[in-house]
């Protein structure tokens, strides 16, 4: 298995695995727009059921699904509470349902498609825009760095939380946030220095 943005690529023989990366990206993009555009709690729950069905069909293990949702759990709870307070429970169901649906769809994409294929597809799709100044290779590099940075940031946050728990400081925001910020910035600077040393990103 190859680690990706929201899950782990798992080779398979389902139709989702056999579809080209470009077709899946385009389809999921359209579906994502529809999910956001269509309003109402009933449609949100229907889309969520569909996303769960796709996740099961793709062979995604339960652990991968829970891992992809763990990062947005707090956000989903806060969003639900705020929307319920400001606009009522129907808006809360719609907002949280849409959010979880989009995360599940993204996870299905990463589970059924190697990240290299996704990046190659994005690069090919952007090459026609070179005439207007879009550098497809630079955009692909940005995608790759983002994909690598997100799990690294999550890992740093987990390590920092474990360290705070070991010192009995799990309730101290400074003990949990300050080390994360410092380490993430240090990682970003090290990545930038490595790119600069190789001449990547220079004009």
Residues 97 and 17 in one domain: yes
- Distance (Å, rounded) from C-alpha 146 to C-alpha 154? 12
Residues 99 and 182 in one domain: no
Residues 5 and 87 in one domain: yes
pLDDT of residue 50: 92
Q: What integer is the mean pLDDT of 65-70?
A: 64
> pLDDT > 70: what percent of the chain?
80
Q: How many domains does the chain have?
A: 2
What is the chain's mean pLDDT, rounded? 78
Residues 108 and 136 in one domain: no
Residues 196 and 145 in one domain: yes
Residue with the two structure tokens 């728990």: 165
> For 103-119, what is each residue's pLDDT tens digit?
888 888 888 888 778 88
In 3D, which of 203, 16, 11 has the Cα closest to residue 109? Answer: 16
Residues 74 and 141 in one domain: no
Phi-psi region at 156: left, alpha or beta (left = phi > 0; alpha = psi -120 to 50): alpha
Residues 83 and 126 in one domain: no
Residues 57 and 12 in one domain: yes
Per the structure, the complete domain to which residue 144 belongs is given by 114-203
> For 19-46, what is each residue's pLDDT tens digit?
888 888 889 889 989 998 988 889 989 9
> pLDDT > 90: what percent of the chain?
6
Last-in-domain residue among 91, 113, 135:
113
Please, which pLDDT band fits residue 6 given cuts at 50, 70 and 90? very low
Top pLDDT among 201 and 156 is at 156
> For 175-197, what is each residue's pLDDT tens digit?
767 887 888 888 778 877 776 67
Residues 122 and 35 in one domain: no
pLDDT of residue 64: 60
Residues 130 and 190 in one domain: yes
pLDDT of residue 2: 38
Last-in-domain residue among 89, 113, 137:
113
Helix H, strand E, coil C: the string for the chain is CEECCCCEECCCCCHHHHCCHHHHHHHHHHHHHHHHHCCCHHHHHHHHHHHHHHHHHCCCCHHHHHHHHHCCHHHHHHHHHHHHHHHCHHHHHHHHHHHHHHHHHHHHHHHHCCHHHHHHHHHHHHHHHHHHCCCHHHHHHHHHHHHHHHHHHHHHHHHHHHHHHHCCCCCCHHHHHHHHHHHHHHHHHHHHHHHHHCCCCCC
Residues 122 and 102 in one domain: no
Residues 95 and 185 in one domain: no
Last-in-domain residue among 76, 94, 113:
113
């Amino acid at each position: 298995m190859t680690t990706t943005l929201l899950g782990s690529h798992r080779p398979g023989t389902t139709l989702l695995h056999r579809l080209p990366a470009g077709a899946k990206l385009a389809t999921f993009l359209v579906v994502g727009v529809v999910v956001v555009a269509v309003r109402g709690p009933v449609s949100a729950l229907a889309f969520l059921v569909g996303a769960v069905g796709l996740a099961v069909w793709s062979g995604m293990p339960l652990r991968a699904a829970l891992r992809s949702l763990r990062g947005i759990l707090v956000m989903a709870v806060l969003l639900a509470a705020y929307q319920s307070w400001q606009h009522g429970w129907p808006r809360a169901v719609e907002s949280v349902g849409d959010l979880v649906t989009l995360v599940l769809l993204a996870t299905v994409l990463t589970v059924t498609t190697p990240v290299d294929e996704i990046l190659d597809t994005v690069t090919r799709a952007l090459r026609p825009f070179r005439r207007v100044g879009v550098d497809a290779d630079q955009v692909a590099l940005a995608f790759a760095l983002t994909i690598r940075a997100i799990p690294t940031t999550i890992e740093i946050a987990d390590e920092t939380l474990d360290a705070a728990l070991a010192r009995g400081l799990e309730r101290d925001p400074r003990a949990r946030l300050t080390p994360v910020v410092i380490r993430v910035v240090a990682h970003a600077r090290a990545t930038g220095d490595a790119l600069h040393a190789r001449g990547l990103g220079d004009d």
